[in-house]
Amino acid sequence: MLDAVAGKVRKGAIGLCEHGVRNGLPPSWFGWRWVREETLRDYFATGGTGDLTVIHPEGHATNPLPVNIDDPAQLSDDPDWFGYSQRDVLSRPSGETLHATVPGCRVVSFTDAPKARFWPTVINSRDKAFELREMRFRPGHGGTLRETGQPRRIAQATWITERVYTNYSHWLSAHLPKLCLLTQRGEMENLLLPEKRPAFIDTSLRMLGFNPQDFATHGAKEVIEVDDLTLLQTDRFRPELLCPVRDLLGHRPDRAPWRRVFVSRRRATIRRLSNEAEITDMLEKAGFALVTMEDLSFEEQIRLMGETRVLMAPHGAGLTNMMFCAPGTQVVEISEPLYPNPNFYAIAVAMGLDYWKIDGTFAGRDDVHRLDRDLSVRPDRVDAVLRKLAG
């Protein structure tokens, strides 16, 4: 009863804050409990100062069906929380790539408990938060603003860190393309790096020719006032952004790719293939090596992908390594139709890879969130794809 009353009080208080801000009062008067949001486009279209460059205009991507699918109806049309469906990959808008430098910004971040997830946002000089992927304003940002005494001040900075930068897949497909773009433009000098970061981030920088220690860092909970802040707005699935990652970091062997690799998740804590042992013999007879990516360094994974002709894996971050495969590589994903994640399909076709789809089923405990549930796959479905690959 008391919790319900407290919830109504909080909701009412936030409603009052929103009403005040919408009527022109500064959000700081209300402890930053609610702010308006605007896109970079809206900011500049309504008189915002700074500089906006369109690197890639809006476009439209037309992509092929998975190799072993002959009817779009066999693809899920459920966008779920991804914002687009597997069927949408066939024909989807390509968001523009924007490069913006905006004066007088606050970069605000916090880490929630108990999951210790990182949440950043950027508030401009008009006290509005920019609508950027994985960087929307949340109540925790208000807490950081209320609790921070004297913010850190920086003259110039470039910010690329999104909410899930520690996730290997998101680093490769969302962050590394930004680094490559900045490298190509010669604009890396003001980059802010997360103070605490996985080793693959530093390795990425070294492979691009930079020393990670040369960059300033940001913490997990702070307010940084930046006189001139550079931001990139990108579409995660544009070839113009993904392919330079392969061009700048990929391994080119001295002969055509030849390996057949199955990425095992047996050492993972979630999303394992519960009946992997059932298909191991047929994979090995078809020439596949079973590889656990945890046993390889980042450089070794990149080298392996450059030598790979066929890559098969259950849905998981290791499959993102396809970004280092040569055009024409065959990529086979085992996934559950009830979790219709279209991202690997979109990455594969954007990079000129041939994508195959094998439907699996959830396995193990049913009280686990579907994002984390183990998979099982019928051996005959795997065998059917292996036969077609052999042909």
**pLDDT tens by residue, 360-383:** 999 988 888 898 899 999 999 999
Same domain, 195 and 303: no
Q: How confident is the model at residue 269 (pLDDT cuts 50, 70, 90)?
A: confident
Residues 217 and 260 reside in one and the same domain: no
Query: Do 329 and 222 reside in the same domain of the chain?
Result: no
Q: Which of 211, 236, 261 is the last residue of a domain?
A: 236
Mean pLDDT, residues 132-139 taken together:
95
pLDDT at 10: 66
Residues 229 and 269 in one domain: no
User: Which residue range forms the structural domain that includes residue 204?
Assistant: 27-54+95-236
User: Average pLDDT for residues 191-201, to the nearest whole number?
Assistant: 97
CATH of the domain at 300: 3.40.50
Strand blocks (E) in the chain = 36-38, 51-56, 59-62, 91-94, 97-111, 118-123, 128-130, 152-159, 192-194, 216-218, 222-233, 259-263, 288-291, 308-314, 330-335, 354-359, 361-363, 374-376
* Residue 117, in any domain of the structure: yes
Percent above pLDDT 70 for the chain: 97
Pick the last residue of a domain from 181, 209, 236.
236
Q: What is the DSSP string of 122-173?
A: EE-TTSEEE--TT----HHHHHHHHH-SS-EEEEEEEE---TTTTSHHHIII
Cis upstream peptide for 64 (omega within 30°): no
Give the pLDDT of residue 391. 76
Which carries the bigger pLDDT value, residue 113 or residue 49? 49
CA–CA distances in Å: residue 369 to residues 3, 30, 39, 274: 26, 36, 32, 16
Same domain, 229 and 275: no
Please state whether beta strands 51-56 and 97-111 pair in parallel, antiparallel, or not at all (unpaired). antiparallel
Residue 83 lies in a domain: no
Check whether residue 229 and residue 263 sit in a common domain. no
User: Long-range pairs for 148-154 at CB < 8 Å and ≥24 separation?
Assistant: 148/222, 148/223, 151/106, 151/222, 151/223, 151/224, 151/225, 152/222, 152/223, 152/224, 152/225, 153/224, 153/225, 153/226, 153/227, 154/192, 154/216, 154/224, 154/225, 154/226, 154/227
With respect to residue 244, please indicate whether it lies within any of the assigned structural domains. Answer: no
Kindly state whether residues 131 and 268 are assigned to the same domain: no
Mean pLDDT of 274-299: 96
Q: 186, 213, 236: which is the final residue of a domain?
A: 236
**Statement to judge: residues 226 and 295 lie in one domain:** no
Q: What is the pLDDT of residue 365?
A: 87
Q: Same domain for 169 and 309?
A: no
Q: What's the pLDDT score for residue 125?
A: 97
Q: What is the mean pLDDT of the chain?
A: 95
pTM for this entry: 0.94
What pLDDT was estimated at residue 203? 98
Q: What is the pLDDT of residue 47?
A: 97
Position 1 scores a pLDDT of 59
pLDDT for position 2: 54
**pLDDT at 13 (0 to 100):** 67
Return the axis-axis angle of helices 239-249 and 176-185, rounded to nearest 10°: 80
Residue 64 domain flag: no
The answer to whether position 241 is within a domain reads no
Segment among 276-285, 318-327, 359-368 with least mean pLDDT: 359-368
Would residue 73 count as lying in a domain?
no
User: 199 and 309: one domain?
Assistant: no
* Mean pLDDT within 291-317: 97
Domain assignment of residue 11, yes or no:
no
Confidence of residue 114 (pLDDT cuts 50, 70, 90): confident
Residue 70 lies in a domain: no
Q: What is the pLDDT of residue 4?
A: 58
Domain count, the chain: 2
Residues 113 and 224 in one domain: yes
Average pLDDT of span 49-71: 97
pLDDT (average), residues 212-216: 97
Residue 193 and residue 257 share a domain: no
